[in-house]
Amino acid sequence: MSMDMIPEPQSTLDNPARRVMLKGGAGAVAALGLMQMSPAALASSHSKVPEFAQWKRIEDLIVHSANTMETVRGAIRSGVITPSPTLFVRNNLPAPSASITENMDNWEVSFEGVKNPRSLKVSDLKKMGATTVASVLQCSGNGRAFFPHGAGGTQWSVGAAGCVMWTGVPLKDVIESMGGSVGGMRYITGTGGEEIPAGIDPKTIMVERSVPMAALENAMLAWQMNDEPLDLAHGGPLRLVFPGYYGVNNVKYVKRVAMTENQTEAKIQSSGYRIRDIGVKGSAEQPSMWEMNVKSWITGPLETANTGVNLIYGVAFGGSKSVQKIEVSLDNGQNWQAAQFVGPDLGPFAWRPFVFKTNLKAGEYRVVSRATDVDGTAQPRERFENERGYLHNGWEDHGVTIKV
Amino acid sequence: MSMDMIPEPQSTLDNPARRVMLKGGAGAVAALGLMQMSPAALASSHSKVPEFAQWKRIEDLIVHSANTMETVRGAIRSGVITPSPTLFVRNNLPAPSASITENMDNWEVSFEGVKNPRSLKVSDLKKMGATTVASVLQCSGNGRAFFPHGAGGTQWSVGAAGCVMWTGVPLKDVIESMGGSVGGMRYITGTGGEEIPAGIDPKTIMVERSVPMAALENAMLAWQMNDEPLDLAHGGPLRLVFPGYYGVNNVKYVKRVAMTENQTEAKIQSSGYRIRDIGVKGSAEQPSMWEMNVKSWITGPLETANTGVNLIYGVAFGGSKSVQKIEVSLDNGQNWQAAQFVGPDLGPFAWRPFVFKTNLKAGEYRVVSRATDVDGTAQPRERFENERGYLHNGWEDHGVTIKV
């Protein structure tokens, strides 16, 4: 059973591994509220925004399940920063009670694997330092819908991504204040504060992720997103943020941060979010979903355009490093032309909107974009086939067909 | 009568000039809806957000009148970008009907004083180019409440300012597409689309502002703010934006943009928003409120703090150029120490949040901040005394007294 599927009820009926899991643990799953929306109900309506995300802009979202909401492709426009009401939501477990955000400063997080371990409240962290970093937040499975083999999990198109600003304390400063990491530690392991019902082995469902120690350089403990207090839907009161890393590593409601010798044995790490060939089960020897890759896509127009001058918009980012170049092709990659980045550059982890001005005659165009990062690595044409549909940055699948 | 007071009913009772105006034109003023909130009603409640701003975050705003809402000082936090629900509102006339934003692409703006004058719809502008610029939006009278002579107009403290992102077409590109400006033109004149009731000489109340032609370099016609369609409260469907210039020049609902030889004769330009000594009437020979000056203020803590380590936050900007340096003093300017800018630099027209880490013993502190722009110009200690309370960037008045 692949851990990273648990909160995605819409995929339960068409995935054999998932069926086995349900057989064994249907009661537990029901207890978690994971089955509250049937696949049919989800498919028939986009308006069922769950309680904890009621403040979202419904017209900008596709509700895949109680814990997964995708941003509509056209809603991103030429956005430098994704407005919070428009940002996608992806929880791995149901969110904790909203009561935890009533007094955010009281939220407590413990630190382990440091020379002087201790617990701190958010109010303590706020006195230790503050910085603001813009970064792309993207689900590992963004683009999964393009995989023809039917990769299990939420069928994200391009909308499990946004670019937001995080404000919080650099994790490095916190760790240093505790004497630094104990020797020999190789990973940073964050644990989420979701409730685990009795009778379930926590390791099978808990949100606990490990990333290499190198990620400490830019890591933060964030209490604000887009200059507002961090909402429950996005991990408030406190979220562990690793700019440049896939969403799942950015643990919500973080209650424990540990410097560890090994990666956590939680299933979400040991077998979930692993890159492997189609048909292969997840295991800890396979590459984990850590740093993001270079990527871009068109945000508009998406279907039709008028003859004459048109501006074609999109967003591009380098993943874990700056994006350097963006090109657009109107003929599915036969000819490429440089497009222009627009707006302020918010740093290496942010995306950059781009615009391409062109004069279109009547006809049908396959419009694709190709980003190149600062190291010269460009998006490939093809997707990288893998069981769970991760890492998709192939430019061909991400194009749009426009009728003029 | 000073034009720039008309939409500020709370000042009508304590300003002689205003009383005269009311005597002569009470009917007209009532027709404009300017008297819908009595000063008493305004003073007694902050919850009366007018219809066109109902989407605002009420706890972040002080409602001064039906057309003036100030951001609460503490709501800015360390914000790089001011969230739209938190941003102040200042209209010079009641907003047009919300129906004008129903189909924003249809809004039309005429261009004059160019070689090939014509009108364009927003949909046309969107095909001509797009850029995104972060800039401070600040009312000329921000800080007026600190003037001891009782400068007439809305009693803004620090909250008639925010930093937002504008998306639109560079005005320069539009003007160039029409063959450029006719020879001899020295100003860019924008006209707002507010309705002028019959029986009133339009020049006495219309929102029409002129800025020097040099402002063309960075000017834009914006249809988005903070990556969302521009709301009616902030000038949607289309606003003329001059980054680095005081708010009043950024004409909302812009329906006409003209390259002109002279400044408009509208009162808002000819006698309103003019710098003059206390007691002197406004006239066209006095300096107009155009480019902003260097400024900063503390955003928190504002009243109390605990002993020990504290982070003191604020925002700083250079006005019409980049801010270079920010200092904080805990003793009302006797000793200054460097504070740190935090977060991404969004360019010369944006503000930068700053943080100052300090260890406080019990006592009372007068905390002030002083910004220096890229040309080496620092905020002065004193305010510049003037009739209407404009241009206030003196650091002393902007300080806060904190009890520890």
Confidence (pLDDT) at A22: 32
Report cis status (omega within 30 of 0) of the bond before B287.
Answer: no
Q: Is B77 on the interface with A (CB under 8 A)?
A: yes
Nearest to A126 among B82, B228, B311 (CB): B311
Q: Is B358 on the interface with A (CB under 8 A)?
A: no
Confidence (pLDDT) at B270: 98
Q: Is A309 on the interface with B (CB under 8 A)?
A: yes
Nearest to A355 among B83, B130, B165 (CB): B130
Confidence (pLDDT) at B48: 77
Q: In Å, how far from its chain's centre is CA B218?
A: 17
Nearest to B227 among A80, A129, A130 (CB): A80
Question: Cβ contact (<8 Å) for B342 and A77?
Answer: no
- What whole-number distance in Å separates Cα of residue A257 and Cα of residue A208? 10
Q: Is B165 on the interface with A (CB under 8 A)?
A: yes
Report the gap between the CA of A91 and the closest CA in chain B (Å): 24
Best A177, A227, A354 residue to mutate vs chain B (most B CBs within 10 Å): A227
Closest by CA to A88, choosing from A142, A148, A13, A127, is: A142
Question: Cβ contact (<8 Å) for B81 and A165?
Answer: yes
Instruction: Write the single-letter amino acid at A180.
Output: G
* Nearest chain A residue (CA) to B359: A127
- What whole-number distance in Å separates Cα of residue A373 and Cα of residue A323? 4
Question: Cβ contact (<8 Å) for B343 and A131?
Answer: yes
Closest by CA to A218, choosing from A115, A134, A122, is: A134
Q: Is B315 on the interface with A (CB under 8 A)?
A: no
- What whole-number distance in Å separates Cα of residue B4 and Cα of residue B272? 5
The pTM score is 0.87
Report the gap between the CA of B14 and the closest CA in chain A (Å): 38
- What whole-number distance in Å separates Cα of residue A192 and Cα of residue B305? 31
Q: Is A315 on the interface with B (CB under 8 A)?
A: no
Nearest to A311 among B126, B347, B353 (CB): B126
* Nearest chain A residue (CA) to B76: A227
DSSP state of B361: -
Confidence (pLDDT) at B84: 96
Nearest to B226 among A83, A127, A308 (CB): A83
All residue ranges of chain A with pLDDT < 70 are 1-47
HEC sequence for A156-180: CCCCCEEEEEEEEEEHHHHHHHCCC
Confidence (pLDDT) at B10: 35
Nearest to A227 among B81, B308, B350 (CB): B81
- What whole-number distance in Å separates Cα of residue A381 and Cα of residue A232? 37
Contact of A185 with A117, CB cutoff 8 Å: no
* Nearest chain B residue (CA) to A358: B127
- What whole-number distance in Å separates Cα of residue A235 and Cα of residue A349? 19
Confidence (pLDDT) at A47: 53
Confidence (pLDDT) at B143: 98
SS3 content of chain A, % helix, strand, coil (to 5): 20, 30, 50
Best B228, B230, B241 residue to mutate vs chain A (most A CBs within 10 Å): B228
Residue span(s) of chain A under CATH 3.90.420.10 come to: 3-270
Confidence (pLDDT) at B77: 76
- What whole-number distance in Å separates Cα of residue A197 and Cα of residue B232? 48
Confidence (pLDDT) at A19: 29
C-beta atoms surrounding A104 within 10 Å: 19
Report the gap between the CA of B59 and the closest CA in chain A (Å): 13
CATH class of A295-403: mainly beta
CATH fold of A3-270 reads Sulfite Oxidase; Chain A, domain 2 (3.90.420)
Q: Is B126 on the interface with A (CB under 8 A)?
A: yes
Nearest to B132 among A132, A308, A343 (CB): A343
Complex ipTM, two decimals? 0.84
Of the CA atoms within 13 Å of residue A300, those in its CB half-sphere come to 12
Q: List pLDDT tens digits, range B313-363.
A: 999 999 999 999 999 999 999 999 999 999 999 999 999 999 999 999 999
The beta strand positions in A183-248, using DSSP E, are 187-192, 208-212, 220-225, 228-229, 239-241
Confidence (pLDDT) at B78: 78
Q: Is B129 on the interface with A (CB under 8 A)?
A: yes
Print pLDDT tens along chain B (404 aa): 334 434 433 333 233 333 223 333 333 333 343 334 444 444 444 457 888 999 999 999 999 999 999 999 999 877 899 999 999 999 999 999 999 999 999 999 999 999 999 999 999 999 999 999 999 999 999 999 999 999 999 999 999 999 999 999 999 999 999 999 999 999 999 999 999 999 999 999 999 999 999 999 999 999 999 999 999 999 999 999 999 999 999 999 999 999 999 999 999 999 999 999 999 999 999 999 999 999 999 999 999 999 999 999 999 999 999 999 999 999 999 999 999 999 999 999 999 999 999 999 999 999 999 999 999 999 999 999 999 999 999 999 999 999 99
Count the residues in chain A. Answer: 404
Confidence (pLDDT) at B47: 52
Is B278 in a helix, a strand, or coil?
coil
What backbone phi and psi angles, to 5 degrees, belong to B125?
-60, -40
Confidence (pLDDT) at A48: 77
Confidence (pLDDT) at A151: 95
B-chain residues near A226 (CB < 8 A) = 81, 83
Residue span(s) of chain B under CATH 2.60.40.650 come to: 295-403
Q: Is A311 on the interface with B (CB under 8 A)?
A: yes
Contact of A394 with A382, CB cutoff 8 Å: yes
- What whole-number distance in Å separates Cα of residue B274 and Cα of residue B3? 10
